[in-house]
Structures are given as C-alpha cells and as structure tokens.
Amino acid sequence: MKTRQKKGVVVGVIAIVLSAIVFLVPFAFIVLTAGKTQQEASRLEFSWPTEWVFFENLKAVIETNDFIIIRAFINSAILTIAAVAIMVVLGAMVGYVLQRRQSRWNGLINMLVLAGLIIPPAVVPTIWVLQGTGLYGSLGGLIAVHVAFGLSFCILLFKAFVGTIPRELDEAALIDGAGPIRLFFQVIFPLLRSTIVTVIVVQAVTVFNDFTYALYFLPGADGATVQLTLYNYQSQGLNQWNLLFMDVLLITIPPLIMFMFFNRQIVAGMTSGAIKG
C-alpha cells in the first residue's frame, strides 16, 4: 500500500514539473525577449538580456500608431463583456428550459446544440449574413458572431447543472405565486453561481484572445482588438521581436489573472453536473 502511495507521489511530482516546464518556460522566454533590444531579440535566443530595456519597449508599444493598444484594449473589453453577458443569460435560460420542460422538440434542439460544437464555423457565409444585416465591420456584428459560436458550450454546461437542482424548488416558488421570469432569475439563476463563473472565465478568455474572428469580421484600425495589434510589429523586411513579445505579454496578463483568481470556481463549474443528487 505504501509502495503505491510513493508511486502516486512520484507521478504527481513528475506531472507538476512537466506542467511547470510546459507553461513557465515559454512565459519566461516572452518576458526575457520583451526586455531585449531589437538587435538582440532578433536572434530569438533563450538568454538573459545584455541590456535591459523592458520599460523602453513598454513605452514604445503603448505609443505605437497613436496609442492603438489602448483603443484595442477598450474594444476588446467592450466585446468581451457584452458577448459573455449575453452568453451567460441566454445559455442559462435555454439550459434551464431544455432540462425542465420535455417536449417532442427537445431531441431536435439538443441535436442543434451539439451541432454548434461539432460543425466548424464557415467564414464566407457568416460574412454574407453580416453584410445582409448591416452588421459587418461593426463591434455589434462581432459580438453576435461570438455569441452564436459560443452559446452551445454554455447551454450544455448550464443544462447539466440545472439537472442537479431539485424540482421541488420550482414547485415551491410557483405555489408562492412566482411567474416564470421571477422563478428563473430569483430562484434558479442565483444557484448557478459556480457554472456562471466557469462560463464567464472560459468564454471571456476565448473572446479576449480571439484573433481569427476579429480579423475576418471586424476589419479596419478603428475596430482593432488586442490580438490584431500584433501586426504592428511584423513586416516583410523587419520584425520587431522585442516589441512583438512585449505586446504578447500585455495581452497575456488579463487572462492569466482571471485563471489565477478563479481556478477553483472553473473546476467546480465544469464538474458540477457530473453527478446527480
């Protein structure tokens, strides 16, 4: 028995060390390169900078293209907050209805929800739809795209958790005179806290770090998101690796902070619907 425990400890230590190498070494490389001069950073070596110019590079990144990084952070913040808020509310409402109300349409709706996870998004038809609705090239259009592509994941999480909530709570609220809207927002919605935190963190990081959708559906410098600012430091003749990695470092910090503070809530929300009762 002790031998098995020792083996488990050894395996756990090895897993932690490997995880640290996989995640910390690339992050250290980003920080070191962000503090180098342009000439030294162009070598792309994992080494300590001979001349530390971290704050000079930070200032250069902030001032690039008339402070485009600040506008990009504002755009990304608006995009992330709006898209995640809509996904939380709609995902919770749809998940609750699918779990509580059984009808002949449930099978079809569940199939469509799963299709949203399985079928990859098509760029050209999406652009055509956005152009037809007048939303192409606008922040509202990009918000709609993220909601459409991320809603299936949210629905499945909320549906699984609602299944663990006793139906007696619904019946008691209805007996007390609560209507459907009041029942959901005052009784059910507060109980979804762990899943709400999971959806907020996971989807916020996904939307904030998105590059492809912003590139295709929101062209132009005025609507640039933080990921698109990486183009400012790359060209055919010159790559400013020190400024590029400084930009990457700035973009990485907000999602990293979210995961550090909400790590336990994410795990709880992901596993909340695994066991009934």
Summarised one tens digit per residue, pLDDT across range 86-140 is 999 999 999 998 888 877 887 888 888 888 888 888 888 889 999 999 889 889 9
85 and 48, same structural domain?
no
- Write 50-54 long-range contacts (CB < 8 A, 24+): 53/242, 54/246
Selection from 210, 201, 206 nearest residue 258 by Cα: 201
Q: Does 272 score more than 70 pLDDT?
A: no
51 and 74, same structural domain?
no
141 and 245, same structural domain?
yes
Asked whether residue 184 is assigned to any structural domain, the reply reads yes
173 and 83, same structural domain?
yes
Hunting for tokens 């079928």 — which residue is that? Answer: 119
Tell me how far the alpha carbon of residue 171 is from its chain's centroid: 36
Instruction: Report pLDDT digits (tens) over 221-261.
Output: 777 888 888 887 776 556 788 899 999 999 988 888 877 77
Average pLDDT over the chain, rounded to an integer = 84
Q: Provide the β-strand partners of residue 234.
A: 239
Asked whether residue 210 is assigned to any structural domain, the reply reads yes
193 and 81, same structural domain?
yes
Asked whether residue 277 is assigned to any structural domain, the reply reads no
The angle formed by the CA atoms of residues 149, 73 and 218, to the nearest 5 degrees, is 45
Across 33-37, 74-78, 230-234, 258-262, least confident range: 258-262
223 and 194, same structural domain?
yes
CA atoms of 262 and 198, how far apart (whole Å): 8
89 and 21, same structural domain?
no
The token pair at 109 is: 């709706």
Write out the residue range of the structural domain in which residue 33 sits: 2-60
182 and 71, same structural domain?
yes
Asked whether residue 276 is assigned to any structural domain, the reply reads no
**pLDDT value of residue 246:** 92
Section 25-32 average pLDDT? 89
56 and 132, same structural domain?
no
Selection from 52, 38, 50 nearest residue 244 by Cα: 38
**pLDDT value of residue 276:** 46
Is the C-alpha dihedral spanning 140, 145, 146, 151 positive or negative?
positive
Count how many domains the chain has.
Answer: 2
Tell me the whole-structure pTM to 2 decimals.
Answer: 0.82
**pLDDT value of residue 90:** 93
54 and 25, same structural domain?
yes
70 and 112, same structural domain?
yes
CA atoms of 68 and 61, how far apart (whole Å): 9
Residues near 250 by Cβ (< 8 Å), separated by ≥ 6? 58, 61, 69, 226
